[in-house]
Copies of this chain bind each other. A is one copy, B any other.
Amino acid sequence: MLSMKTQYAFKALMYLAQNDNGEPVLIAEIAEKKNIPLKFLENILLELKKSGILNSKKGKGGGYFFNQPPSDVRLAKVIRLIEGPIALLPCVSLNFYQKCKNCDERNCGLSDVLKEVRDATLSILESKTVADIANVKS
């Protein structure tokens, strides 16, 4: 299951995509409209900025806005950034690979199946973008 943090990230991104008119949006506005704890949201937006998805402006008239079109932000990227691995085991993760303890990968039926799951999942999450889930045109 996705953590609250990731769910908040998606809510914030959807809100920003739906209010993407060139004007920065206040953290406080997103927090209030989407019912997200303000200080928690600050952290999340900062991570999204550091990864290049969002950008921001300080001071009066400041706030957050997209650094790239929402249609370029794939859901897989957001999940990996905020949540971590998409695969169900470290030994089948593409971006967070780690060797399994006590599991011979060359000969592990479970990892074979979970690779299939990973690929099926990624084919969806890599093709859908924030624009898709926010119902805004590309």
Identify the A interface with B (CB < 8 A).
1-2, 7, 10-11, 14, 34-35, 75, 84-85, 87-90, 101-103, 108-110, 112-113, 116-117, 120-121, 123-125, 128, 132-135
Contacts and interface: CB of A to CB of B under 8 A. Distances in A.
Contact of A133 (B1, B84, B113): B113
A41 to B, nearest CB: 13
B85 A1 contact: yes
A48 to B, nearest CB: 16
* Copies assembled: 2
A78 to B, nearest CB: 10
B124 A84 contact: no
Nearest to A35: B102
Contact of A10 (B11, B110, B120): B110
Contacts of A132: 109, 113
Contacts of A14: 109-110
Contacts of A87: 1
A32 to B, nearest CB: 11
Nearest to A132: B109
